[in-house]
Amino acid sequence: MIRIGVLGDTHGNYEMAELAFRDVGKIDLILHTGDYYQDAQRIGRILGIKVEGVTGNCDFWSRGPKEKVLELGGKRIYLTHGHQYGVKKGYLNLYYRGKEMNADLIIFGHTHVASKEDMDDLILFNPGSFTYPRTGLPTYGLVLIDQGNIEVKTFQVTWNE
């Protein structure tokens, strides 16, 4: 089983990643959906876990990629921030891009709202934000890939020790 931590829209609050992932067990990889791209590398150093990230609409100074496709456990994951596809108004443009990329799972951010949508044979997953959540509580995600199956989960950050 591959266990992937997912977060984004950290906006400089990279120190909280350790707190966010403490309750989900071992993580093999972290995916960061952008805003801020540099946070992804810092989080990797803090946690000692490989991190893959993309740039978002607030990453003016970053030279990182705007999108990535990763193949993990026999599944294709398309990683993007999502702003370029108008995700605050709907997911259809993002869905079409995911189809172009032959993705099984699309991971995106930008809205600061955790969501999971099943559109035909695609899963669209947004972990939300633990820095500036728009729905009240800070969130992050976990993707499990096991024997060709994909499961996504959203967690709320608990601040208690």
* Closest-CA residue to 54 (of 100, 7, 115): 7
- Alpha-helix residue ranges (DSSP H) falling in the chain: 17-21, 37-47, 92-100
Q: Give the integer Cα–Cα distance in Å for 8 and 31.
A: 8
Class of domain 2-156: alpha beta
pLDDT recorded at residue 134: 85
pLDDT recorded at residue 48: 92
Q: Give the integer Cα–Cα distance in Å for 6 and 152.
A: 10
pLDDT recorded at residue 106: 99
* Residue extents of the structural domains in the chain: 2-156
pLDDT in tens, the chain (161 residues): 999 999 999 998 888 777 788 778 899 999 999 999 999 989 999 999 999 999 999 999 888 999 999 999 999 999 999 999 999 999 999 999 999 999 999 999 999 999 999 999 999 999 999 788 888 788 999 999 999 999 999 998 876 55
